[in-house]
């Protein structure tokens, strides 16, 4: 079996489509695992969500989509429309309202922009959530069902940010708090774990500490970080795992 893996697409539909061209999903022996953060920052969050949903429709269980912290945030905005404190938080977290813009029709977005100019934040927030619910409720329901991790039959955990490894191989599942999976796990760089952990969330330049690093980074033991920072580098890195040989390959990796 071949497992392809990508993460942190962040609304960058074009680079995502380009990365998908390098993936052969027609073979029944292929899987695609996406580690979350489909939205925010880039120009077409909705397009990325719909592309992933389409891949699942076409290839069924061979496409696994996990949730990232940006999906958690999106769900939070969608469900807190009656909480006025969220109006400000919403505006700040979706920088430049890139995600809202991708979900709205141009005239709807103009209306939101107009409300913001008038400092009617609460109304803008309420209107945006209402439009998204009405036109793209299926996407929001899909996001709500995204799992936190996927364990492969090959001694691997795929996850957006990480797991609580101190809990050990038998207890990490019940032992990892939800926010560790998507946002703030302890870092175990360079420490051995009995499963390989494949994660995104922190870009590989940051996690490797090597200025200008791009692509995929292996810590020499159990951790593969695969967020190659598409906003900076314009490319979505693809990690490939071949279960026949037990090898990982991808940009930045030698042969492992
Ligand atoms: Mn993230």
Interacting residues of 101 by C-beta distance below 8 A, sequence separation 6+: 109
Residue 239's H or E segment, with its range, is: strand 239-242
Which tens digit of pLDDT belongs to each residue from 51-108? 999 999 999 999 999 999 999 999 998 998 888 787 777 766 677 788 999 999 999 9
2-68+146-249 CATH, one of 3.60.21.10, 3.40.30.10, 3.40.50.300, 3.90.1300.10: 3.60.21.10
- CA dist 180 and 245 (Å) reads 31
pTM: 0.95
Cα of 12 to ligand 1 centre, how many Å?
A: 14
Cα of 14 to ligand 1 centre, how many Å?
A: 19
Cα of 154 to ligand 1 centre, how many Å?
A: 25
| Location of each CATH 3.60.21.10 domain in the chain | 2-68+146-249
Which tens digit of pLDDT belongs to each residue from 179-206? 999 998 899 999 999 999 999 999 999 9
Cα of 232 to ligand 1 centre, how many Å?
A: 15
Partners of 247 in the β-ladder: 242
- CA dist 198 and 196 (Å) reads 6
Higher pLDDT: 238 or 116? It is 238
Cα of 71 to ligand 1 centre, how many Å?
A: 9
Report yes or no: 197 and 163 within 8 Å, Cβ to Cβ. yes
Among 26, 31, 33, 46, CA closest to 160: 33
């Amino acid at each position: 079996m071949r497992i392809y893996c990508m993460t942190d697409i962040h609304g960058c539909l074009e680079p995502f489509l380009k990365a998908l061209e390098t993936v052969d999903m027609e073979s029944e022996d292929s899987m695609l695992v996406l580690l979350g953060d489909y939205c925010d920052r880039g120009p077409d969050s909705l397009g990325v969500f719909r592309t992933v949903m389409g891949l699942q429709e076409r290839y069924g269980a061979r496409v696994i989509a996990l949730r990232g912290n940006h999906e958690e945030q999106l769900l939070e905005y969608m469900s807190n429309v009656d909480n006025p404190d969220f109006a400000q938080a919403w505006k700040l977290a979706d920088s430049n309202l890139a995600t809202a813009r991708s979900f709205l029709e141009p005239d709807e977005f103009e209306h939101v922009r107009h409300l913001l100019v008038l400092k009617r934040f609460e109304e803008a927030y309420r209107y945006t959530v209402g439009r998204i619910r009405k036109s793209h409720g299926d996407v929001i329901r899909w996001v709500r069902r995204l799992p936190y991790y996927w364990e492969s039959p090959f001694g691997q955990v795929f996850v957006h940010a990480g797991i609580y490894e101190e809990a050990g191989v038998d207890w990490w599942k019940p032992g990892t708090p939800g926010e560790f999976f998507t946002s703030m796990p302890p870092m175990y760089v360079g420490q051995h774990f009995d499963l390989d952990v494949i994660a995104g969330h922190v870009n590989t330049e940051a996690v490797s500490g090597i200025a200008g690093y791009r692509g995929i980074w292996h810590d020499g033991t159990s951790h593969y970080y695969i967020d190659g920072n598409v906003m900076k580098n314009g490319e979505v890195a693809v990690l490939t795992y071949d279960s026949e040989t037990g090898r990982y390959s991808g940009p930045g990796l030698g042969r492992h």
